[in-house]
Amino acid sequence: MKLQISSLLLASLASSTLAAYNPHSQHKHWLTSRADTSDDVSKVNNKDFDFIVVGGGVGGLAVAARISENENLTVAVIEAGGDGSEHEDQIYIPGYSYLNGLTVSDYDWNYKVVQQQVINGNDQTFGSRWPRGKGLGGSGAINGLFWCRASSDEYNAWNTLNPDSRIDWGWEEMQKYMKKSETLHKPSQEHIDTFNINFDEEYHGTDGPIQVGWPYYIYDPVKHWIPAYDSLGINIPEDGASGNNHGPVITTSTINPSNMSRSDPKAGYIDPLPPRPNLTILTNHQVTTVDFSDEKDADGNLVANGVYFGKTDGSTDSNDYFRATANKEVILSGGTVNTPQTLQLSGIGPEDLLQQYDIEVKNALPGVGHNLQDHAATSVYFNTNVAETWYELKDDQTAAVELEKWRNDDGKSKWSYVNQAIAYPDANDIMSDQLDNFSSNIQNNIDEYADSVKNMYNEDDTVIAGMREQWNITHGYLDKEVGQLEMLMTMLGGGPGEIGFQLAIQHPFSRGVIEIQSKDPFTHPAIDPGYLTHSADMEIMRQGVRFAIELSKAGEMGDYITKQENYNNNTDEAIDMAIRNDAHTEYHPLGTAAMLPLNKGGVVNTSLIVYGTSNLRVVDSSIIPIEISAHLMATTYGIAEKAADIIKTHYSQDDPDERNKQGSSSSEEGDGDSGANKKGIAIGVVVGIVGLATIGAVAWAVRRNMKKRAWAHSMAVSTGRGVEAEGEGSPTWGYKEGSSANLTGGVGAGGLAAAGAGAGAVAVTSQSDDTLSPSRPSFHSYDGFDGGAGVAVSDLLTNGHGYGVVPQHDFSRSISSIERAEQAQAQAQAQAHTHAQDEYQQTPSLSSTHDVHTTPLFKQ
């Protein structure tokens, strides 16, 4: 009975809270107190926190939310941009965020790449732009909502690149953590049937903070996507998240189906939180440098004491920068551009570079900002025989009508639509007859390209050594079912009735670099992605263009598409030139603080600690050592979830309450939580509110149950009695079996000593990789962390029991009158439109005119 009440209560709390995601929802709920978020600098300046997280994006908000689940750990997030309240429609309305989105706005860093050697984008063109989210949610608030994973080989490669690590970053582990961050909402049967949506719940999370699913409205031609590949004989994955993403999928998006709003890092990890006084979020302030102690730790590592920061508008004089103290760690989560910039400004980076800007070299780390990789993209545009595409929403009146529907009818509107049709063809799919030649050319030219990278970027030999290992892996992918290209169907072309296939190289051999070009933290660093500087990348893109055109004629896709608009000349030279004129970022840069061994140009070890420091960690996409065939958001959440477990495990002994309990309680039946219970009951009595007392009592019962289980587990670990084998009972950050890596049981003097870590705690000695002690209690000792009666509900909500409790959206009921009317309208339009597809089918693949015409995925 108690449990029933509890479930009901939690479900109603959670569902009401989720309604608050939609700023226009009439169901807005009172439970929105959450973390203390403001731009009031006095809340952070001159204050002490256990953890300071630099950047409130995907990695930053996820790791901050998870660490602060322990109410005894204080966390501050410092975010350069705003809280998003001025841009709610552009963030939370899925389709609207594409067509009227936040690229080129104050929620975008508005970076530009330096003039590229191979592509022609210059300062004026879209090709030079490098959007990155600037504000709470980071790029996760301005991105295309694609929620997808790479294949298992690609995550396992992270282990291959870190052979001595004891921490497992392979597929099973990453899959576990990506699942932890997600709650899947199934599509309607009608959508499954119409659009050939393949999915299997086994590969998805059920109670993570990020809500993922399919839009209420999907443009009808998307139904041609999967059959087109099928007709070309290409693999159809059972689910893109299964570890084999080779082929086409109608993938999930970060959409909360309860109201069809974007589930971004803030909506997922922060907004649903109950009051959490140990989490402070400061907006509109930019961290300038990490403040290191003059003293090093016993192992000679730098100790981060805190950070300096100023107002993001640059109005703070550098002599008056604010400062906050980190008692335990500074966590850099500024993303692939800013994390290396902050490191370099703080004296950690390539020695020559730092000296050039008169920055004291605290730690010469040549890999910082180097090893940059990105997916370069271009698009092929087509005319179709159906007038209705995304372009219709560029009409003000239609847009307004659909906006009304979105606001007033739980998002049941065309604005719910986002592109979801993607595919990852492998090398064999796109160049089967030339593959052997292509592969051996690459093998023969590795030395030459290594030399050229060395010259281009004055690259250190250790960084080159790391790249060589990556290139071997990338080369090996040619023989595997690993996506070489991403093909993406966009319902927006250059005009009415036009659509596009965007194609992007997934495993570039090319490398780039990000380096400061001023000592001033408010000056953007120089970004050189080195697009297509390896000729193999151009070749893959070229074949991609040809593949896209072949696809446009396949199956019923060929009946729908009537004409190809650009890429009209089939010679290699013409296609290459068109690519040079158009290629731009697919928004997936990584690798600038790579998780690699130090002698391979690494910046962080596999605990994500920056080499040569005792307590400076990186938790964002910059740590990914080698590109993956996926958009990066789900992977970055997975990294943050795993990092949070690593961190919590490190500090799990810091909680004196927990230590005492472990010391005094020797049995599962022990009454070690009685203190917390008494506190809870006392609060209930003092407050004297019947409802609150009820909540407290119910929560107490559930929590007590959880604690008993948690204690049993942690006791089993700490007393060496063993834990249940693999699965839920094993350390959640996953040891790799059979590793010979050295374990150091010592406590890194800086952060842990300052924090007063107790017996059994083990820290990182950052120069050696991954030094977690096998005797360390597992993260499970955190479950059911204590709290009083009022807090107990929040305790349940924040320990994974509240996230994701979303009322299932009843698609079968809601797709009814509106959609039927729309379908009728679409049919009428289709009939009225001229059917020129036969003509297109009969034309040669590419005609002789060369006219590059491009429409970027996001607004210019």
Q: Which is nearer to ligand FAD, 626 or 761 (CB)?
A: 626
Are 305 and 49 in contact, with CB atoms under 8 Å apart? Answer: no
Q: Considering the complex, what minimum distance in angstroms separates the CB of residue 130 from ligand FAD?
A: 8
Q: Residues 49, 55, 369, 505: which binds ligand FAD (CB under 6 A)?
A: 55
Q: Considering the complex, what minimum distance in angstroms separates the CB of residue 531 from ligand FAD?
A: 16
Check binding of 139 to ligand FAD (CB under 6 A).
Answer: yes
Beta bridge partner(s), residue 330 = 52, 616
User: CA-to-CA distance for 105 and 177, rounded, in angstroms?
Assistant: 32
Q: Of 631, 650, 780, 801, which one is the catalytic site residue?
A: 631
Q: Considering the complex, what minimum distance in angstroms separates the CB of residue 312 from ligand FAD?
A: 8
**Which residue, 89, 78, 75, is CA-closest to 39?**
78
Q: Which is nearer to ligand FAD, 144 or 508 (CB)?
A: 144
Are 789 and 796 in contact, with CB atoms under 8 Å apart? Answer: no
Q: Residues 21, 92, 96, 146: which binds ligand FAD (CB under 6 A)?
A: 146
- CB-based contacts of 22, cutoff 8 Å, min separation 6: 92, 259, 261, 410, 411
Q: Residues 84, 95, 127, 133: which binds ligand FAD (CB under 6 A)?
A: 133
Check binding of 140 to ligand FAD (CB under 6 A).
Answer: yes
Is 631 among the catalytic positions? yes
- CB-based contacts of 41, cutoff 8 Å, min separation 6: 282, 285, 311, 322
**Residue 530's CB: how many other CB atoms inside 10 A?**
26
Question: By CB under 6 A, which span of 9-17, 134-142, 221-229, 835-843 interacts with ligand FAD?
Answer: 134-142
Question: By CB under 6 A, which span of 77-85, 184-192, 558-566, 664-672 interacts with ligand FAD?
Answer: 77-85
Q: Considering the complex, what minimum distance in angstroms separates the CB of residue 34 from ligand FAD?
A: 17
Is 534 among the catalytic positions? no
Check binding of 70 to ligand FAD (CB under 6 A).
Answer: no
Q: Please, what is the Cα angle at 81 between 614 and 179, to 5 degrees?
A: 65
Which residues from 841-860 bind ligand FAD, rule CB under 6 A? 858
Question: By CB under 6 A, which span of 128-136, 165-173, 204-212, 293-301 interacts with ligand FAD?
Answer: 128-136
Written as one string, the DSSP assignment of 296-325 is --TTS-B-EEEEEEEETTS-S-GGG-EEEE
Check binding of 131 to ligand FAD (CB under 6 A).
Answer: yes
Are 743 and 774 in contact, with CB atoms under 8 Å apart? Answer: yes
Q: Which two tokens mark 589? A: 């840069």
Check binding of 263 to ligand FAD (CB under 6 A).
Answer: no
User: CA-to-CA distance for 505 and 508, rounded, in angstroms?
Assistant: 6
Question: By CB under 6 A, which span of 129-137, 173-181, 230-238, 837-845 interacts with ligand FAD?
Answer: 129-137
Buried b (16+ CB within 10 A) or exposed e, 183-192: bbbbbbeebb
Question: By CB under 6 A, which span of 140-148, 654-662, 685-693, 725-733 interacts with ligand FAD?
Answer: 140-148
3-state secondary structure 420-445: CEEEECEHHHHHHHHHHHHHHHHHHH
Q: Considering the complex, what minimum distance in angstroms separates the CB of residue 449 from ligand FAD?
A: 26
Which residues from 627-686 bind ligand FAD, rule CB under 6 A? 631-634, 636
Q: Which is nearer to ligand FAD, 416 or 794 (CB)?
A: 416
Q: Considering the complex, what minimum distance in angstroms separates the CB of residue 745 from ligand FAD?
A: 32
Q: Considering the complex, what minimum distance in angstroms separates the CB of residue 600 from ligand FAD?
A: 21
Which residues from 497-516 bind ligand FAD, rule CB under 6 A? none
Give the position of tokens 């030139």: 577
Which residues from 92-111 bind ligand FAD, rule CB under 6 A? 103
Check binding of 493 to ligand FAD (CB under 6 A).
Answer: no
Q: Which is nearer to ligand FAD, 487 or 710 (CB)?
A: 487
Query: How many residues bind to ligand FAD according to rule CB under 6 A?
Result: 42
Are 144 and 96 in contact, with CB atoms under 8 Å apart? Answer: no
**Per-residue contact track with ligand FAD, 576 to 615, x per CB under 6 A?**
-----------xx---------------------------
Q: What is residue 249's three-state secondary structure?
A: strand
Q: Considering the complex, what minimum distance in angstroms separates the CB of residue 21 from ligand FAD?
A: 18
Q: Which is nearer to ligand FAD, 141 or 749 (CB)?
A: 141
Q: Of 588, 713, 780, 809, which one is the catalytic site residue?
A: 588
Q: Which is nearer to ligand FAD, 338 or 371 (CB)?
A: 338
Q: Residues 71, 79, 182, 460: which binds ligand FAD (CB under 6 A)?
A: 79
**Which residue, 771, 777, 783, is CA-closest to 717?**
777
In terms of DSSP bridges, do strands 210-212 and 182-184 run parallel, antiparallel, or are they unpaired? parallel
Written as one string, the DSSP assignment of 498-528 is EEEEEEEESS----BEEE-SSS-TTSPPEEE
Check binding of 245 to ligand FAD (CB under 6 A).
Answer: no
Q: Which two tokens mark 558? A: 């060929």
Q: Residues 60, 127, 205, 237: which binds ligand FAD (CB under 6 A)?
A: 60
Buried b (16+ CB within 10 A) or exposed e, 541-555: bbbbbbbbbebbbbb
User: CA-to-CA distance for 10 and 335, rounded, in angstroms?
Assistant: 34
Q: Residues 10, 31, 65, 80: which binds ligand FAD (CB under 6 A)?
A: 80
Question: By CB under 6 A, which span of 10-18, 73-81, 116-124, 347-355 interacts with ligand FAD?
Answer: 73-81
CA torsion angle for 205, 209, 215, 221 (degrees, to 10)? -50
Question: By CB under 6 A, which span of 120-128, 202-210, 334-342, 509-517 interacts with ligand FAD?
Answer: 334-342
The count of residues in the chain is 860
Which residues from 608-627 bind ligand FAD, rule CB under 6 A? 620-621
Q: Which is nearer to ligand FAD, 62 or 772 (CB)?
A: 62
User: CA-to-CA distance for 655 and 106, rounded, in angstroms?
Assistant: 41
Q: Considering the complex, what minimum distance in angstroms separates the CB of residue 512 from ligand FAD?
A: 16
In terms of DSSP bridges, do strands 285-292 and 304-311 run parallel, antiparallel, or are they unpaired? antiparallel
User: CA-to-CA distance for 649 and 772, rounded, in angstroms?
Assistant: 9
Q: Which is nearer to ligand FAD, 219 or 711 (CB)?
A: 219
Q: Which two tokens mark 670? A: 């022990």
Q: Residues 252, 263, 286, 794: which binds ligand FAD (CB under 6 A)?
A: 286
Q: Which two tokens mark 549? A: 């055109």
Q: Which is nearer to ligand FAD, 240 or 612 (CB)?
A: 240
Q: Considering the complex, what minimum distance in angstroms separates the CB of residue 131 from ligand FAD?
A: 4
Report CA-CA distances (Å) from 523 to 82, 111, 306, 313, 770: 19, 10, 22, 11, 35
User: CA-to-CA distance for 371 and 646, rounded, in angstroms?
Assistant: 25
**Residue 823's CB: how many other CB atoms inside 10 A?**
12
Q: Which is nearer to ligand FAD, 99 or 743 (CB)?
A: 99
Q: Which two tokens mark 525? A: 């660093």
Q: Considering the complex, what minimum distance in angstroms separates the CB of residue 126 from ligand FAD?
A: 12
User: CA-to-CA distance for 249 and 238, rounded, in angstroms?
Assistant: 9
Question: Residue 737 class from Cβ within 10 Å (0-12 exposed, 13-18 middle, 19+ buried)?
Answer: exposed
**Per-residue contact track with ligand FAD, 34 to 53, x per CB under 6 A?**
--------------------
Question: By CB under 6 A, which span of 68-76, 136-144, 236-244, 594-602 interacts with ligand FAD?
Answer: 136-144
**Residue 742's CB: how many other CB atoms inside 10 A?**
12
Q: Considering the complex, what minimum distance in angstroms separates the CB of residue 59 from ligand FAD?
A: 3
Helix residue ranges, H only, 68-145: 88-92, 94-99
Check binding of 56 to ligand FAD (CB under 6 A).
Answer: yes
Residues that bind ligand FAD (CB under 6 A): 54-60, 78-81, 103, 131-135, 138-140, 142-146, 286-287, 333-335, 338, 342, 587-588, 620-621, 631-634, 636, 858
**Active centre residues (catalytic):** 588, 631
